[in-house]
Structure 1
Amino acid sequence: MSESKYHFETEAIRTQAERSSFLEHSSPIYVTSSYVFEDAEDMRASFTEEKQRNIYSRFSNPNCTEFVEKVCKMEGAESGFAFATGMAAVFSTFAALLSSGDHIVSARSVFGSTHTLFTKYFPKWNINTSYFKVNELDKVESLIKPETKILYVESPTNPGVEVLDLDFLGKLAAKHNILFVVDNCFATPYIQNPIKFGAHLVIHSATKLMDGQGRVLGGITVGRADLIREIYLFSRNSGPALSPFNAWVLSKSLETLAVRVEKHCENATRLAEYLEGHSNVLSVKYPFLKSHPKYEVAKKQMKLGGNIVAFEIKGGLEKGRDFLNKILFCTLSANLGDTRTIVTHPASTTHSSLSEEDRLEAGITSGLIRVSVGLEAVEDVIEDISQALS
């Protein structure tokens, strides 16, 4: 699946399911739970996988196949499987590949639900995790044990927009013969391709920029074919598959991913530059600002800076809450990657259940504001955020 004949935008638009006898221009939605067989031999060969064909929509569906094929071409991956949500992709990937006694090395700055899997649920099955801070990559190797199976990171991270050196980590994983898994949700395949830097698997919450309009949930894991085979077999039996309708929406959304992401990043850059000069802002994190501590790394592995801007507001927790209350048209929501600009204050909302110590371990300070910059006129976004800061 990984061979691309055309440019990114062309593949995103022209990769389609095989046309039916109706010769439709746009792929239809295959709303069916199952598929029929011509005779007993056809059915036998299908279930033994001598024939590659659709059997049941929990296993595969033309819409899901089209979506997966597009993402594989975008990421340079051999194969993939699509899931009902991003967290279904994360859980199923780990559950399929890990056994009791295995060990994970992960950056501490990961999505909250991923952290919960690592600390609350996986230990029940004797699968444990060692964390490293994103600014201490020199300590990662010391965490690797004989039983370590996976090295896992997000880059850029949620919500602090830290950047990790994927090339360094990919080489480290190769040195120790462990799997390197990257959550590429914030960057999208248009901005960053972790497989080029040694990743074996790449995970996305398609709910975010891939959909881009806050309509549907979805997730996907792509990468090395033998690993995807194991993930497919686990998912075929456990049932976290993406629905045909959501796959259809996501596949159509990918046709505009490039133009949307370009505008998101243009707006985010302008907002980040404005915030750097604001008197009520202590610091700004955006990968393509020269002030970002990993600016050079970001320029090496990312095409653009992404649509997420994080900044530290003066006044800490109370001023963070006050900022949310003063927002006029930007949305207060836990989602991101939408056409609409979304603002959150993690310390008082999404990460409020964590202790202050745990929040700081994850890079979440009391005054941290995360902005998912949308596609509105950026002057209006800046004006709204400016008045809320005043």
Structure 2
Amino acid sequence: MHKETIAIHAGNHTDEGSHAVIQPIVMSTTFVRDDDGSTPKGFIYGRADNPNRAQLEKVICALEGGADAAAFSSGNAAGMTIFQSLKPGTHIIAPDDMYHGLNSQLKAMFNGILEFDFVDLTDASKLESYIKPNTGLLWIETPSNPQLKISDIKRLTRIAHENNIKVVCDNTFASPICQLPLSLGADIVMYSATKYFGGHSDITGGALVTAKNDGWWQNIRNIQQLGGAVPAPMDCYFLVRSIKTLPYRMRGHVHNAHLLAEFLEQHPKVENVMYPGLPSHPQYELAKEQMLAFGGMLSFNVKGGTENAIKVIQSVRLFTRATSLGGVESLIEHRAAVEPPDTKTPWNLLRVSVGLEHIDDLIADISQALDEI
């Protein structure tokens, strides 16, 4: 089936009791056993599983084309589960501009337990020089946050697998509508479901999707259930509902982002635009090859430095000055200001989550804000 059909039907289960077209929210924390102690429906306790969570995992798995999926209470919880699944002393290779929440998580929570190096993964030819005997995980993030760097998933994965290294790809910026890392060789895909899956800035969640239901995945599943960092039934219900419109929403995000990027690239007060759909992007040809669409995120550098960048976000009227991304409303953020002191993000960079407003209104708002500097 096509993605539009999968998004609508794969996450739904007709209620056997009421025959409701849409699956109801099951808030129960525990489930009745049969006389022999068995659980014919497969549900025992809310932390272990829930009907709404099962349907959420089913639709995300189907969209990604994976063997199984696991839902979490946040993207960071999903990422942390991957790190917890590794043996102490495992070496991780991660991008030098890895999402700061997971970068900080490694440094603050796993320092001394795991080893890690942050390197430029846009140059796949250098990957082998960082591999150690204890390297067990390659973490790819493409497009990256916030500089929209593109890494060659297929080539990096091939090198990793030749060295018996597992590969996880953070696909949050792309969504399964714009990129399918499992089809390019990745072992597991990670998402912050808070973003495009939720799509309305009102749900926090995360997800992992695996290519194989192997021993490593069963370990991840055990951590999910024993650790309990799982989404509530209502959150799962609303995520399933939001995913029904994901393919159509992504079309709008991509359309608007591309037009806004083209406008900004021609503006005299903009130094540089980072959007993989622009021919000027350093990895444009690679993006065309491995992405199904270029996504709804872009960043741009404002001429004149930090002061002018701040003036722009102070002057917008339609864009909301806020963290996060993937909602129907457009957001803009001075990214370096919210990242750790050792951030590699330029201080004149503004990150934009392009929403579903009319593109003419978005361009007019950015234009008037740039006129203020």
Q: TM-score scaled by structure 2?
A: 0.96
How do residues 210-221 of structure 1 correspond to structure 2 at under 5 angstroms? Answer: 210-221=197-208
Q: 1:359 aligns with which of 335, 343, 351?
A: 343
SS of the residue 2:127 aligns to: helix
Q: What is the CA-CA distance between 1:52 and the residue it aligns to?
A: 6.7
Q: What is the CA-CA distance between 1:137 and the residue it aligns to?
A: 2.5
Q: Which residue of 2 aligns with 1:100?
A: 88
CA contact (8 A) 2:122 2:152 kept: no
Q: 1:9 aligns with which of 1, 4, 21?
A: 4
SS of the residue 2:148 aligns to: coil
Cα distance in 1, alignment partners of residues 338 and 6 from structure 2: 36
The count of corresponding residues between Structure 1 and Structure 2 is: 368
CA contact (8 A) 1:119 1:128 kept: no
State yes or no: 1:175 paired with 2:176: no
The alignment yields a C-alpha RMSD, in angstroms, of 1.2
Q: What is the CA-CA distance between 1:287 and the residue it aligns to?
A: 0.7
**One-letter identity of the residue aligned with 1:124:** G
Cα distance in 2, alignment partners of residues 10 and 115 from structure 1: 36
How do residues 294-305 of structure 1 correspond to structure 2 at under 5 angstroms? Answer: 294-305=283-294
CA contact (8 A) 2:121 2:127 kept: no
Q: What is the CA-CA distance between 1:17 and the residue it aligns to?
A: 2.6
Q: What is the CA-CA distance between 1:385 and the residue it aligns to?
A: 0.8
Cα distance in 2, alignment partners of residues 374 and 77 from structure 1: 28
SS of the residue 2:194 aligns to: coil
Q: Which residue of 2 aligns with 1:131?
A: 118
Q: 1:328 aligns with which of 288, 301, 317?
A: 317
State yes or no: 1:119 paired with 2:107: yes
State yes or no: 1:109 paired with 2:97: yes
CA contact (8 A) 2:14 2:21 kept: no
Q: Which residue of 2 aligns with 1:30?
A: 26
Q: What is the CA-CA distance between 1:359 and the residue it aligns to?
A: 2.5
Cα distance in 2, alignment partners of residues 232 and 172 from structure 1: 27
CA contact (8 A) 1:210 1:253 kept: yes
The unaligned stretches of length 5 or more in structure 2 are none
Q: Which residue of 2 aligns with 1:225?
A: 213
> Which portions of structure 1, spanning 4 or more consecutive aligned residues, are displaced by more than 3 angstroms?
none
SS of the residue 1:264 aligns to: helix
Q: Which residue of 2 aligns with 1:3?
A: none
Q: What is the CA-CA distance between 1:304 and the residue it aligns to?
A: 1.0
Cα distance in 2, alignment partners of residues 25 and 18 from structure 1: 5
**One-letter identity of the residue aligned with 1:104:** I
CA contact (8 A) 1:13 1:255 kept: yes
Q: What is the CA-CA distance between 1:182 and the residue it aligns to?
A: 0.3
Q: What is the CA-CA distance between 1:346 and the residue it aligns to?
A: 1.1
Q: What is the CA-CA distance between 1:376 and the residue it aligns to?
A: 0.3
How do residues 1-390 of structure 1 correspond to structure 2 at under 5 angstroms? Answer: 6-15=1-10, 16-42=12-38, 46=39, 53-95=42-84, 97-125=85-113, 127-223=114-210, 224-226=212-214, 227-347=216-336, 349-351=337-339, 353-354=340-341, 358-360=342-344, 364-390=345-371
Cα distance in 2, alignment partners of residues 135 and 9 from structure 1: 32
**One-letter identity of the residue aligned with 2:201:** G
CA contact (8 A) 1:132 1:139 kept: no
Go from structure 1 to structure 2 and tell me whether the alpha carbon gap of 1:105 and 1:52 turns closer, same or farther (over 3 Å shift). farther
Q: What is the CA-CA distance between 1:36 and the residue it aligns to?
A: 0.9
Cα distance in 1, alignment partners of residues 106 and 239 from structure 2: 28
Query: Residues 292-346 of structure 1: CA distance to partner in whole angstroms, max 9, x if unpaired?
Result: 1101111111111100111110011111111111111210111111100000011
Q: What is the CA-CA distance between 1:124 and the residue it aligns to?
A: 3.4
The unaligned stretches of length 5 or more in structure 1 are 1-5
SS of the residue 2:133 aligns to: coil
Cα distance in 2, alignment partners of residues 301 and 135 from structure 1: 14
CA contact (8 A) 1:80 1:225 kept: no
**One-letter identity of the residue aligned with 2:4:** E
Cα distance in 2, alignment partners of residues 202 and 260 from structure 1: 21
Cα distance in 1, alignment partners of residues 83 and 363 from structure 2: 40
Q: What is the CA-CA distance between 1:134 and the residue it aligns to?
A: 3.6
Cα distance in 2, alignment partners of residues 310 and 254 from structure 1: 25
CA contact (8 A) 2:25 2:233 kept: yes
Cα distance in 2, alignment partners of residues 378 and 55 from structure 1: 49
